[in-house]
Structure formats: structure tokens, C-alpha cells
Structure 1
Amino acid sequence: MSEHMAHTSARRVTLWLGYLLPWWIIIPLGTWLIYNNASSRELDQISYAQRDLVAHDNRLVEGYLTKVYKDVLLLAGSTASVLDSSAAAPDALLASLFSDIGRAYPQYMQIRWLSNQGVEKVRVDRAGPQLRVIAGQDLQDKSSRYYVQQGLKTAPGKVYVSPLDLNVEGEKIETPYRPTLRAVTKVVTASGDTQGLAVLNLDASKLIAELRTSADAMLVDEQGYWLVGPDASKEWGFMFNDPSRRIQVEYPEVWQHIITEQAGQFLDEHGLWTFARANPEQELQISADEIPELYTLSRVTTPLVLQRQLQLFYFSVGAAVLLMVSCLAGFLALSSRRLDTKAKELQHSNAQLTTTLGQLQASQDELVRTEKLSSLGLMVAGVAHELNTPIGAGMLCVTTLADRLRDFKQAFLAGGVKRSELEQLLQHQSEGLQMAEASLNRAATLIQQFRQVAADRANADIQSFSLQALVADILALTHGQWKHSGHQVVTDIPADIEMISYPGPLGQVIQNLLHNALVHAFTLGDTGTISISASVSAAQSVDILVSDDGIGIAPEHIKRVFDPFYTTRRGAGGTGLGLHIVHHLTTEVLGGRVWIETGLHERGTTMHLRFPLDCRLPLQETLAE
């Protein structure tokens, strides 16, 4: 008992797992795939936007670097030209030239020419929209400034562009902050002498302001100091000797990406990072050490927020669906157990029904075979009846001829035979032999027809035959069934209808319909007409109509006349298989259709048959019965 309970419990667990396990795998996996697809699609959109932003900022920075680089070379060339001209007052001429440059390019806040010792010789400052020429004691010694020292070390024709820093005046950082880029190059005269340095101070405030228009934009220098960052208090740390204000302190993994890649994009726990290094070297055809390294960045936390929202939404939906499916699967498992019990009961019942059905099918097959034999028996009886007449007539002729021949022999032996008697005997013998021959030929024809029809029904081989000849054979063989009934059988079948089909089954169909009309179409004592007609349609099919002008078929019986064992003459010997055999042979063997048409006022019945002229081809027409 315990083993049975354990087996039942194991089957129950297996059944539940069979229903639940696939869904516990499919739904979480499908939810993850849908979430991943939606997350990737949203992330791609954000990624494209951030790459465009960083690319725009990068081009902006590269434009400033390229501009100051080219302009300082132009400034140095112009300064050298003035010095080569041997002008009486070169300083005044340079001050005028620098002022013109300042008016043409308002982004420059200082334009200077320094001596080889780093002392300012000509300087033009910008104070708002105004330009001011600095002279006399206001000129400063800049020899201690790093950009002057680097400029003095630079080879002629080369440019030193300082890092982006804050402008310093009088050893103090100017406030408000003025981000500055300084470009320095040597002034070389036509004779090859170095006549100091040309220096441009580019006011990068506009650049910084443009970068700040996007809340996500950032700018760091080659040491990782924030120049534009998410926290203004952490910017320009190198100006205050504060190394903690660097990106690698707060985001070391981001800095590793920046220093090892020219540009890139990645997602971490802080957000989506996009970065690129300003690279004007290719356009200017210079080495990287002449231009400071500046990196534009952006960081957005939207993807992280979006991922959390999508995770919450999709996983909540997935959990809800999984819960509902689990409940449904549990219900199905419970129902399956109940159905399994019912199935076993039905299986037992079905086994019993199968046995009973097999017995019924065997009985039906036997009855159908009996009905077919009965149909053939009726034909045999008719043939036997028909053979009695020619055989009896032949026997009578032979007997009469024998008697006459015996009388003539006796007269001949007696010697009393006249010529006229001999001629009379010969004439009688000739007439008698002709009559006997005709009777025997008639009998032979009937036997040949019967043998052909019986053989066709047994073999059911496809043959080419004349429909008119087949119907004529059937009527000749069944003549005994209807010639004494008082009914008239007429035919209208063209002689040119040639069919390729099964003549045996088709003959049995026509015989069964003829017999059915003789038995059922007329009341006792009435006489009528049964007609058999045929015609060929354009669809290569032949229509055969077996009609009578009898009492017709009641509407309640029409739909059931082709059912097996359905008959209205059960007590009069009817089996209900005749029309069932007609329907079976017509549809299953001959590839045709059969339906019933009633006459006016439900008088008379027409059995309408339609077959393909060649049974190897399908019937082309769909019929509405």
C-alpha cells in the first residue's frame, strides 16, 4: 500500500513539473530577452546622442587650438616683417599692428612681443570691448612664467601652446576667472636672428561657456584636472596645487579608458561615459607635444535610471504572467489527473465498443455481400427464365425434325417415297434447323452477356466500353424481373458515349436502381414507366438519370435513403442495403456523385448519377445535392 502511495505521489509531482517547469523556463527567459532588447534600443538612442554631443564639443576645442596655433605664427611673421623694415619707431608700429589684430580677432585678450630675456616690449590688452596699449613701466618681466620659458626652448618655426589655465596678473589669479590659452613662438627675422617671442593670450571663456550649455559636458586636461566638470568647486585644481581635484581620484576606471584610447564609450555603475581627445595635429601637421592634451567627456545617468525602470516593469509583468500561468498550469495538472482517470474508464469502454463494432462491421459486410449475391441471384433467375424459351424452342424443333426424319426413313424403306415428299422433307428440315439455330444463338447470347457482367463484377478492372451496350446487357439479363410487371422500361442513351471505368460496378449500380424502382416506385396494381437516359457534359463527365413516374419519396426519407439498413419495407423483406451499395460504388469505386431529384408535387423520382468519362481523372464539377 505504501509503495502504491509513493508511486502515486511521484506521478503527481512529475505531472505538476511537466506543466510548470517549461513555463518557469520560458517566461523568465522571454522576459529577460524582451527587457534586454528594450534596454538596448533605449541605450542605443542615448549613446548616439552622447557621441554627437562629445564630437561637437571635441570639434569646438580643436577649433580653438587650431586657431591660436595658426594666428601666433601669423603674428610672429608680421612682427619679423616690421623689424626687418628698419622703421624709425618699430615699437609704435607694432603697437598699431597689434591693435588692428585685436580689433579683427576679439577672442584675444593679450597680444605681445617679448624680448629674448622674456621682458614685454609691446603689449596690447583687451578690457571688455576696448583695446589698450601698455607702455613704459606697466610692461612686465615675464621671464619666470612657464610659457615664456617653454617658448624660449622651442625651435624656430615651432609653436608652444600652453595648457588651458586661468589668467594670472601681478602674480595673482585674475577674478572672475579668465580661462586662457597662450601660444608662443620665436620671432625670426630675414637674417635668421631671433628677436624675442610672439605671444597670443586667447580668452577661452567663450569656449568654456559653450561647453557648459550642456549639463553633461566635461573637459579635463592631460593630468586629469577638471576644467569643466559636474562640480564647479573641483575645477582648476592645478591652479591651487590641489591634486584631489582630478577625475582619476573619483573615477579611476574612467581615467584608464581615457589615457589608453583615443575615443570611446562605456557603461558602468556611474552612468554612460563618452569621451574623445582633441586632435588638431593631423590638420596642422605637427607633433603632439606642441598642443596640450584636452579631453571632452560626457556622463549621463539616464541609462541607469531607465534600466531600473525597465527592469521593474518587465520583471513585474513577467512575475505576474508567471504567477497566472503557474495557477493555470496547476489547474491543468489537476484537470489532467481527473481526465487521466476518466480516460482509463473510457479506454475500457472503448475496448468493449471496439469489439462490438467489429462484430457489427462483420455482420454489415456479410449482409452487404449477401445483398450483392442477391442482386446477382436475381439476374441469374432472370437469365435462367430467359434461357427456358430459346432452349425449349430449340428442343421442340429438334424433336419434331427427328420424328419427321423417322417417318420418312420408314417410308423410304417401304419403297413408297415420292419426289414431292422428299422435297417437302428437305424444306421442313431446313426450316426446323433455322429455328433451332436461332434459339440456340439466343441462348448463347444470353449466356455470353451474363458471363461478361458476372466476370466484370468479380474483377472490377478498368475497361473501355460503350455505355449503351452495357445498359442493353443489363436490361437483357434482368428482362425477367420486369417484363411481367406491366411497367415499361425505356432508354435514351447515345451510341457514342464511350467510358473508361469499371463496367461491373457501374452495371450493378444501374441494376440496383432499376430493381429499386420496380419494388418501391409503384403501388400494387399500378403501372408506370421507368426511363434510363444519359448525356455528356462539357466537363468530360457523363450524367445518367434513372427516372420513374411513381409515387415518389417522402421528404423525411430522402436524406436517409443511402444510409445502410434504412428501409421502409422491413417487414416485406427489404434489407436497406440496395441504395447504400449504389452510393458506395458510385462515390468510392467509380469516383462519381449520386443525388435524388423529386418530381412536381413530389410525384416521381429521379436518381441522378454523374461520373467522369475517364475514372482515372477526378470529377471536375462540384455538385450541390
Structure 2
Amino acid sequence: MRFGGLSRRIYLAFLLAAVIPTAIAGIIGIVYSLNTLKRETLSSLEQEINIRTDNIARFFAQLSSELLYLAGAESLESLGKATTTHDGRSITLARTQLERDFMRFAAHYPHIYQIRYLAESGMETVRVDRKGDRTDVVPAHRLQDKSDRYYFQETLKLAPGEIYVSPLDLNVEFGQVEKPERPVIRFATRVQARNGGSAGLLIVNLNADILLDQIQQMADTRDGTAYLFDRSGHYLARLPGTAADQFAMQPVAQLAGEYGNPLIERVIGGEQGTAGISGHILAFAPVRFLNGQPYQTSSRGWALALAFPENRLFMSVFNLSALYVVLLASLAATAVGGYVLSRRLIGPLDDLTRETEAIAGGDFTRRVRIEGSDEIAGLGSQFNLMAAHLQGVIGKLHTHQGQLEAEVNARTAELDRERSFLAAVIQHTGDGILAVDDWGTCLLVNVEASALLGGLSRGQALEQCLPDWPLLATKAANTGEHRCEIDLGQRILALSITCTGEEASTGFVVVIRDVSEERRLADERRELDRQMFQVEKMATLGELAMGLAHEIGNPLAGMKAVVQTMRYDEEAPPYFLSTLERLEGEIDRLSGFLRTFHGFAAPQALLPTACNLTTVLEDVLFWTKKESRSKGISFNTVLDGIPPLHADPHQLKQVLLNLVINALHAMPEGGVLHIRACPEGAETDTVRIEVEDSGAGIPTDILPRIFEPFFTTRSDGTGMGLAIVRKITQDHHARISVQSEPGRGSCFTLYWPTARIPHD
């Protein structure tokens, strides 16, 4: 039967009415009695330790009085006189008398360990040692020099009649700690001579463990420990039940771990009281020296402490606690009786509750049997009728549930088939398909999409393969659909991104197709169209060239005939004949230029020879000298060991002349035109020729088109100069390249083959 509801309420009422008041009264009585006993015990402990400290103080006062009396003894005065007169016999008699006085003093105080008389130099003069019941006079050869000891130096600072009390210390003999170790307390005073001066020191060594014997008697009754502190950093202790000579003298700092620094500071600070810590009760009080005697100590004073286990100290308190066990047992018996009574009264209700919980758990066959004719029995009958009705209803529900489950299973199987079909289509389609959530994580990746995106798999972020995905997703979310192309270097992908719903958190479907091959074919077609256009242009140029050659060729032939006639005039000056010769050469070059135009339409035969580049360049510079001077342009020509070139001299001159004229046009404000030529390498048959200007340079966007026919940026240009240069270069199996930087000029470089000269 469970304990709850009405049963619990009846039981709690019983506890409130009977058990709890009795328990509260008993607990208050116990607590009050325990506290009273503890206070009485601690008060008694304080009184005991105060009595012990007073006894020690009286003992110190008595010992000090005896010491002062001994310091004024006649034997000491006699020894002082004999020492002054240096009379050996008198000194011996006086020392013997003093030794007898020391022996009687030691016999009167069995706790005395040593009595010594020291001269002002610190040398022991007379010394008596007590060991057990035997008292011995130390012979002269075993007397020691104690001038370096701290107690000797401290006592020298006192006036006669003052007492010095040392801290706890171990007795030292001949510079070594005496074994077994003996803790001692030294009482010392100065001996006054008759003339008012000092006649030496009188020192008594007191066994410190004798003091502990007195207080340990009180500690032993409760298995406690007695501590004697000198407050100079040491304490003396003896554990309960140990022998009289088994003591411990340790630094005070070692007790900090057991009792804590704050409590130890209170003890050695002169406070009085009791404290509980770590399961112990510590009672402590200072040892106050009596005011009737002037004392000088090496520290602030002494303290006595007694430590007792708390369980032993309060044993009587604990015995009192046992008296209340009977009360607690009575309360427990009352509580158990109340519980049994409440269970007997509330048993039928518990049965009804238990059966109700079974029906709530799904067992509708459960019924309850309650005998009698009271209200609870009627409640049991109604409960059984309700359980039977519920059992019938649940049976019908189970039948209907089976039908629904069969229908759901059929629909689920159909959906699984459709899903499998759709998954097969998605996985094997030629396009990549991705389903991406709102955070950019791939929920679906088919085989093609994984291959196109470098092994992308489900669960990875699409941004790892497509860095621009956040921007693309934003565009698709704003418009509902976004199409674009992404260049991944080796591939060009066409993306179709569709937002899967109107809300922003519905995700995206991405269809990816590789269009790299399509773009490549489109680029090849555009290049083919451009080449066809170039061929048509070249054909038109050829027709134009043939017309020009026909129209200009005849006048040039007439001009050449006139020049040749004038050259044969014997009266013409030599410089005029040289000029006519050059003019005839230019007419020939122009004729060759017309033939080059004709070559765009129909190839013409070259007449390559071993051509001297220096000679060709001199003619080029001669015909451009006038224009260069008018523009303030100077030439810088460097030709380093150039071998003969394999070239048609007229066409080579045409190439260089076109490049030089273009360079002059590029420098309208003047400048320097550099023409350099050198072999391409030691083992090659190519010469590199550079024509470099310092003009405005060629813009980057038009640099690829400068060799196209009819392309020019000058208003008076024909666009044929560089086209002819490339045509002649290609005919000679040479190469031409250009480097240009806007604002810094251009450099045209020719890579021309050398002539092969046979060796003898």
C-alpha cells in the first residue's frame, strides 16, 4: 500500500498533535542541558589552568628570592675578597664553602639541574650539577667559558638585584647539545661586590620538564597534553601516558598546522580563555611574574596551555545525551503506531487507488472488492461499472485502430516506392541536384553534383565548394529563382537556384550543369568567325594592294628613269650623285613595298641574302633623321657583334623603317629612341633586335589588335604599318613581340634568323 493522500494527511495531523510538541520540548531540554554542562566544564578548566599558572608564578618568585639570597651569601663575598688578594689558600677555602652552599641549595630544590658562579669574563668559577638524587661538584678542569652564550651577555646588562629569566633552551656542554636532551630555564643575576661593582654572575639551570610534571597531572585525568610556551619561538610538551623524560621541545610554528595561526597568536599574545578546534579543547593562560621582584626576560613572558580531546572532556555531557534516547525511542514508537492506525483506516481507499492506476495504465480487466455498505463500498461498485464500460469502448477502439494501421501501412509502402523512384531519378540524372537548408548545409547530394563539386557530400557546407553561395542564396530568396554561371577554373558551372517556399527558412534546390564544353565550342566558333573575317579583310586588302601597285608603279618607274639619267651627268657634284643614288634606292624600296602589298593577295618570292644589319639601319636612320631632329629625338644604337642576317634587304629595311617611324610618332615631346641588337645566345642562330621608345605607351585593351590590318589609333594613319611588319616577319620565319606600359613607352623585339655562311 502506498503512503499518500488522505492517509498521509491523517498521519501528519497525528504527528503535529502529539509527536512534534513532545520532540520540540525534549530537544530544547537537551540543548539547554548540554550547553550548561559545557559552560561549566570550560569554566572549571579555566579555573584549573589559572591555578596552575599562579603556582608556576609563585614557584618562579620563590626561586628568584632564593637566588638573590644566594647572591648575597658570605661565601660569595669571601671568594671575591680572596680572588682580589690572590691568596691561593683563601681562594680554596672560599670556593669550598661556596660549593657547600650550592650543594645545600640544590638539595633543597630537587628540580635544580645546575648552579654556577661565573666571573665577569664568563669563565665558570664554581659549578654544581644535579643528576637524579646525586649532586656533584664539577672539577676545575671541566669548567667552561660561557662568555659567548646569550644568557651571559643578557645578564651583564642588568643591575644587581634584577633577575634574568631565559627562554626554553637545551643544555649545551662544550659547544654540543647534551644527550639526552634536557630543556632548561635559566635564572641569572649579577653579584655585587662591596665596592659597588660587579663580582660576577650567579646562574641556576631549572629542569623545565619538572614544571610540566605539575600541570601534566591535571592533563592526564582527561588524556590531555600540557604545553609550556616561552614566547620566544619554542614550546615544551609531554604527551599523556609517557615517561617523565619523554618530552618534545619544538618551534611554535609546528603547532600552527594543528591549531591554526590565529589561536597560537592568542596563546603567546598573553590572552586567557578556551577555544575548540580540530576536535580538541585548548585552555590557555599567561604566566604572570609576581610584581614584588624586578624581572628581565628574553621575551614577552610565558604561557601555559592544556589540550584535551573534546569527547573525553565532555564525557559527562555525552552521558546526559543518552538519557534522552529513551525520549526519542518513545517518539519513534508513537510515530510508528500512528502510521499503522492510519493505514488500517485508509486501506480500502488505497485498494481503489491502486486499481485506478492499473486501469489508467491500460489494464481494463481489473476490479475492486470492498465489503460493507458504506460510501466507500458504493464508490467501489461504481468503479467496477465504469471499468466494464471502458473495457468495451477500448475494444472497439482497438479494432478501428487496426484498420487505420493497415491503411497507413499501405499508403506508407506506396510513398516509399515513389520516394525510391524519385531518389533513383535524382541520383542518376545527368545534372547535379542539391537540396540545401537555410544555413547552407547540403541535405541531398546526387552523384553528378558530388563529381562536379569535388566530392561534396551530405552534411557539408556548400560554401566550402562555392564561396559565393551566401550571395547567391540571398538573390534566390529575394526573387524566388536565380540563374548564373560560376567559373571554377577548370570548369564552368551553370546554376539554377530555386527557393523551396515563400518563407525565408525553407531552403533551396540547386540544379548544376557543366557548360565548360559548350563555352569552349562557343569560343572556338567566335575565333573561327574572327579568322574568316580576317581572311575576307586580307582578300580585300590584296585587291586594294594590286590597284595601288598598278597606279603607283608606273610613276615610280618614270621617276627611277629620271634619277638614272641625272646620275650619268658628268658635271653633277659628287654629293649630288650620292643623294641621287640614295633616292634611286628609296624608289626601289617603295617598289618593293608595293610588291609587299601585292603579297597580301598573292604571295611573292623572297630574295633573302646575307644582309648586313648595320648598312640597313644606316639607311633607315638617314631617311628619318630630319623628322627626329624636328621633334627633339635622339638615337641610341648598340650593335654588339651582329652576324649577317638571312633577310631580303629591302623588306628588312621596310620593317625597321615602320618600327622607327611608329616610335617617332609615339614621342611627340621628344626623347631617346634605343635600337639594340645582339645574338640571342652563344649556341643559337637568332639575333634579337629591340626598338624601344620612351613615349606614351600602348593601352592594355588595344595591345592585342595592333598587328591587325587597318587598325590604327592615329587620325592620319592607315593601319597597315604593323600589319606589313608582321607579314614580312612571318615570311622570313622570324618572330616579333611587343611589351608596353602606359606612360613609360613600348619595346618591339624581333627574333631574326642569321645567314648560314659556309666554312672553307
Structure of larger gyration radius: 2
TM-score, normalising length: structure 2: 0.37
Q: TM-score, normalised by structure 1?
A: 0.45
Give the helix-richer structure, 1 or 2: 1
